[in-house]
Amino acid sequence: MRLLAVASIAAAVLGAPTWLFPQDRYVLVGGIVITMDDLVPHPDWVVVIDGPRIVWVGPANELDAGVPLRRLDIRGQYVFPGLVDAHVHVTADDFPLFLANGVTTVREMNGSADHLVWRDEVRRGARLGPTLQVAGTLLAGTRQRWRHVVVETDSAARSVVRQQASAGYDYVKVYDGLGSEVYHAIIEEAGRARLPVVGHILRGVGLGVALDRKQRSLEHIDILQDLTLGHDPDTTVLGPTAGLLAASGAWVVPTLAVFEVLNMRRSPEIDHRFDAPELAYVDPELRTWWLSLRATAPAPLGATDRGAQRTRIQRRMVRALFDRGVSIGVGTDSPNPLMVPGFALHDELSALHRAGIPTAALLRMVTRDNAELVAGGGGDGAGLAEFGTIAAGKRADLVLLEKNPLEGLEALRHPKAVVVRGRLLARESVNEMVAEVKKLRAAR
């Protein structure tokens, strides 16, 4: 997959005749900048980029005219921080799909040695893709269908955490089946290694213990539902739990969109989802798995109604968590059923919006807040992450949009250009890259 020279990108799409090289020093001129340090569009601002960093942001009339800079006129376009997907399972073939959708950072939640290689290649500029933060291979108490390490004793737990820390992973991920003693050993050893613990709420441990032991993120709304409400539609009883979550500082990553899909399994409503054009980018083996959700036979009596009820409860839960001030991360769990890498982040935003979270809050979640979660910050907007907002010193991860995202989430789909670690990729370039993904998947 070749990286087009930024010169051709700028000329073809942004109308800029100046020759630019990847990560050169240049300035985006005349855009409408939404920094996400506030929710105000700033017209006729400029963003100065030098290598992978933003070095200056502000009104055009305050830019030092004596500084020689290559200028790209993006008048009328909105400049917005790159998006962050806080729960993915990726291959390197997926990278163009993320960039095509404005996703410039991802949190890989079941890492391998390959992910560490890709992470480091992206960071040093040897591979084009979103920046990766990588959890170690998941630690489970029983055998799983996917990559995992079975951990049955506290000594084994401490050993594998030390191994993952030594390998350079960014987090330790806990998964189903772990016993209480093993969980405590993982938490203690990860603390010594200064690695956040992320993952499932363990049924053998409980939510209260996870919060007491400062598990950083709790993945999937269905697990939280099963441990709190079950099939009870009265989400008002979630109040005390939501209060504990908010006070603890733990993040909840609902991955709501995938459960909306799973709750529709074997119902006629799911069939039209298979007509989405982005499914052309899906690996054939994955597509075969996903097709198993279709209604090839009548669903058991009442199953469709139970699925719809489960979705309604999960939406109410997400809204209740938001209303109580719980830190919510935006993640997709792609490539789980119908979660196409990159595209799925927009599906998750739509699902969270249907749950009642306002547009402005979602824009903050998928940029600034997700950056704090992924980078290991406090989740309080303290600016600990090096990305997620548009400010001097931050990583140059941006999307250029034709419409104002504050007026609707649809503006985030189909960005006109993407800047990833200072490299400017216009739509033409991105389209070439995703076309290669489509060819690759079709050939398998």
Tokens at 80, concatenated: 């917005």
Give the domain extent around 41: 6-81+389-442
pLDDT at 296: 66
Q: Which residue has the tokens 């490299």?
A: 423
Tokens at 76, concatenated: 């009328």
Q: Are 294 and 413 part of one and the same domain? A: no
Q: Are 416 and 294 part of one and the same domain? A: no
- Of 43, 26, 27, 23, which is closest to residue 35 (Cα–Cα)? 43
Give the integer Cα–Cα distance in Å for 93 and 437.
7
Which tens digits make up the pLDDT trace of 85-118?
999 999 999 999 999 999 999 999 999 999 999 9
Q: Which residues of 388-419 are buried (b: 16+ CB within 10 A; e: fewer)?
A: bbbeeebbbbbbbbeeebbeebebbbebbbbb
- Examine residue 51 and state whether it is found in any structural domain, yes or no: yes
Per-residue pLDDT of the chain in tens (444 residues, 90 and over written 9): 222 333 333 433 343 323 333 457 899 999 999 999 999 999 999 999 999 999 999 999 998 766 667 899 999 999 999 999 999 999 999 999 999 999 999 999 999 999 999 999 999 999 999 999 999 999 999 999 999 999 999 999 999 999 999 999 999 999 999 999 999 999 999 999 999 999 999 999 999 999 999 999 999 999 999 999 888 878 888 889 999 999 999 999 999 999 999 999 888 888 888 989 999 999 999 999 999 888 665 566 556 788 899 999 999 999 999 999 999 999 999 999 999 999 999 999 999 999 999 999 999 999 999 999 999 743 333 346 899 999 999 999 999 999 999 999 999 999 999 999 999 999 998 899 999 999 988 887
Which tens digits make up the pLDDT trace of 62-90?
987 666 678 999 999 999 999 999 999 99
Q: Is 382 exposed, middle or buried (0-12, 13-18, 19+ CB in 10 A)?
A: exposed
- Examine residue 165 and state whether it is found in any structural domain, yes or no: no
Q: Are 344 and 415 part of one and the same domain? A: no
Give the integer Cα–Cα distance in Å for 133 and 171.
8
Give the integer Cα–Cα distance in Å for 55 and 332.
32
- Examine residue 363 and state whether it is found in any structural domain, yes or no: no
Give the integer Cα–Cα distance in Å for 221 and 57.
38
Cβ contacts of 238-244, under 8 Å, gap ≥ 24: 238/317, 238/320, 238/321, 239/320, 239/324, 241/207, 242/320, 242/321, 242/323, 242/324, 242/326, 243/324, 244/207, 244/208, 244/211
Which tens digits make up the pLDDT trace of 317-349?
999 999 999 999 999 999 999 999 999 999 999
* Contact status, residue 246 vs residue 325, Cβ threshold 8 Å: yes
Give the integer Cα–Cα distance in Å for 301 and 44.
59
Q: Are 312 and 261 part of one and the same domain? A: yes
Q: In the listed set 308, 336, 356, which residue is the last one of a domain according to the structure?
A: 356
Q: Are 234 and 347 part of one and the same domain? A: yes
Q: Are 344 and 433 part of one and the same domain? A: no
* Contact status, residue 70 vs residue 23, Cβ threshold 8 Å: no
pLDDT at 305: 82
Q: Are 270 and 338 part of one and the same domain? A: yes
pLDDT at 306: 87
- Examine residue 248 and state whether it is found in any structural domain, yes or no: yes
- Examine residue 188 and state whether it is found in any structural domain, yes or no: no
Task: For residue 151, give Cα distances in angstroms to 84, 179, 181, 188, 313.
Answer: 31, 9, 11, 15, 33
Q: Are 344 and 410 part of one and the same domain? A: no
- Examine residue 114 and state whether it is found in any structural domain, yes or no: no
Give the integer Cα–Cα distance in Å for 190 and 208.
19
Q: Are 295 and 401 part of one and the same domain? A: no
Tokens at 39, concatenated: 């929710």
- Examine residue 383 and state whether it is found in any structural domain, yes or no: no
Q: Are 347 and 400 part of one and the same domain? A: no
The number of distinct structural domains making up the chain is 2
Most distant CA pair in the chain, distance: 74
Which CATH number is 31's domain given? 2.30.40.10
Q: At what angle do helices 303-323 and 221-228 cross, to 10 degrees?
A: 90
Tokens at 435, concatenated: 């076309």
Strand partners for 198? 173, 217
- Examine residue 352 and state whether it is found in any structural domain, yes or no: yes
Give the integer Cα–Cα distance in Å for 413 and 421.
20
